[in-house]
Chain A
Amino acid sequence: MEETYLFEAEGITKQFPGTKALDQVQLKVSKGEVHALCGENGAGKSTLMNIIGGIFPPTSGQMFFEGEKIQPKNPREAQHIGIGFVHQELSLCPHLSAAENIYIGRLPHKRDRVDFKKLWKDADEVLSKFGANFSSKKQISELTVSEQQLVEIAKSVSLNCKLLILDEPTSSLTDKETKKLFEVVHNLKKEGMAILFISHRMPEIFEICDKVTVFKDGKYVCTMNTKEINSEDIIKAMVGRELGNLYPPKSSRIEEKQEILKIENLCGERFQNVSFSLKKGEILGFAGLVGAGRSEIMRALCGIDPKTKGRVWLNGKEQNFKNFRDAVNEGICYLTEDRKNQGLFLGMSIKSNMTSANLKAVSKGIWLKEKLERQLADNYVEQLAIKVAGIEYPISSLSGGNQQKCLLGKWLSIHPKVIIMDEPTRGIDVGAKSEIHNLLRKLAEEGVGVIIVSSELPEVMGVSDRILVVHEGKLAGEVSGVEMMTEENIMRLASGE
Chain B
Amino acid sequence: MKKDNFIKRFFAQREANVFVITVVAILLVQIIQPKFLNYNNLKSIMISVSLDGLMAIGLCIALILGGIELSVGGVAAMSCVISGYLCLQGWNIWLACLMAILAGIFVGLFNGLMVSKVGLPPFIVTLGMQGLSRGVAYILTEGSPLSLSGYLPDSFRFLSTGSVAGIPMLFLIFVIVAVIAHIFLKNSNICRSIFYVGSNENAAKQSAINVDRVKISVYVVVALLSTAAGILSLGRFNVATPELSVGAETTAISAAVIGGTSFTGGVGSILGTFLGIVLLKVVNSAMVMLNISVYWQDFVQGAILVLAVTFDYVTNKKSGRPNFFQKLLGKH
Contact = CB atoms under 8 A, between A and B. Distances in A.
Contacts of A346: 199-200
Contacts of B196: 345, 348, 352, 356
Contacts of A393: 320
B5 interface: no
A1 interface: no
B192 interface: yes
Q: Which interface residue of A327, A334, A356 has the most chain B CB atoms within 10 A?
A: A356
Contacts of B319: 347, 394, 396
A359 B199 contact: no
A116 B181 CA distance: 60
Interface in B301-323: 319-320
Given A345-B199, A347-B266, A393-B320, A334 B189 contact: no
A323 B211 CA distance: 11
Contacts of A243: none
A34 interface: no
Contacts of A363: 189
B208 interface: yes
Given A345-B266, A348-B266, A359 B193 contact: yes
Contact of B187 (A341, A368, A396, A397): A368
A304 B205 contact: yes
Contacts of A348: 195-196, 199, 266
Contact of B203 (A327, A344, A367): A344
A383 interface: no
A367 B206 contact: no
A439 B128 CA distance: 52
Interface in A351-377: 352, 356-357, 359-360, 362-363, 366-368
Tell me whether chain A's interface is mostly helix, strand or loop, or mixed.
mixed
B206 A324 contact: yes
A180 interface: no
Interface string A172-209: 00000000000000000000000000000000000000
A250 interface: no
Contacts, number: 76
B209 to A, nearest CB: 7
A348 B203 CA distance: 12
B202 A356 contact: no
B80 to A, nearest CB: 32
Given A347-B199, A348-B199, A397-B320, A342 B192 contact: no
A9 to B, nearest CB: 37
A286 to B, nearest CB: 18
Interface residues of A, number: 31
B207 interface: yes
A490 B190 CA distance: 46
A341 B202 contact: yes
B155 interface: no
B267 interface: yes
Contacts of B195: 348, 352
Interface string B22-35: 00000000000000
A226 interface: no
Nearest to A299: B206
Interface in B189-226: 189-190, 192-193, 195-196, 199-200, 202-210
A359 B208 CA distance: 11
B293 interface: no
Interface in B102-161: none
Instruction: Indicate the member of A304, A325, A345 with the most B CB atoms within 10 Å.
Output: A345
Given A346-B200, A348-B196, 5 more contacts: A343-B203, A344-B200, A348-B195, A359-B192, A368-B192
List the 5 closest pairs (A to B, CB-CB), nearest first. Answer: A359-B189, A345-B199, A328-B208, A342-B202, A325-B208
24 contacts: A304-B205, A323-B208, A324-B208, A325-B208, A341-B200, A342-B200, A342-B205, A342-B206, A343-B203, A345-B266, A346-B200, A347-B199, A347-B319, A348-B196, A352-B195, A356-B203, A359-B193, A360-B189, A366-B190, A368-B189, A393-B320, A394-B319, A396-B319, A397-B320
